[in-house]
Amino acid sequence: MAETAETQQVDGKQAARAERRAARLAKQIGAFAKAHGGAEGQLAYIGQMGTRIVLVGEDGGWGDLVAPSYAVAESAAQKSGITMHESFDGEFAAKVHTGPYEWTRMAGIQIGGPANKA
């Protein structure tokens, strides 16, 4: 019996921690959406590290957050109220606007582009 009570207490603490983390992430998502005139998102599982919450603002700005689990990321997205997409393709991907920094960091380095002089 004692083990069951301890297990329930640990599970309760983990659930409370996950809920607090989801609330913090939802607040960050909301701040991003407010700064970019609204936002849409997509969840991408990244293995043991957790789940990436990819955000795209109405103005084309983008960013991401990492949640410790898919469940926490999903909860945060629901709490934030943004529109979520199943995949990052089509019209959703076309909303992303990249600048010189992204081109140098993501593509320029690999294809011999100019060095990033940030």
Give tens-digit pLDDT for 36-84. Answer: 999 999 999 999 999 999 999 999 999 999 999 999 999 999 999 999 9
pTM for the structure as a whole: 0.78
Nearest Cα to 71, choosing from 22, 9, 13, 12?
Answer: 22
Percentage above 90 pLDDT, the chain: 61
Give tens-digit pLDDT for 9-37. Answer: 668 889 999 999 999 999 999 999 999 99
Q: In what order do the strands lie in the sheet with 83-85?
A: 62-67, 51-57, 39-45, 83-85
Give tens-digit pLDDT for 85-109. Answer: 999 888 888 999 888 777 777 655 5
| pLDDT tier for residue 1 given thresholds of 50, 70 and 90 | very low
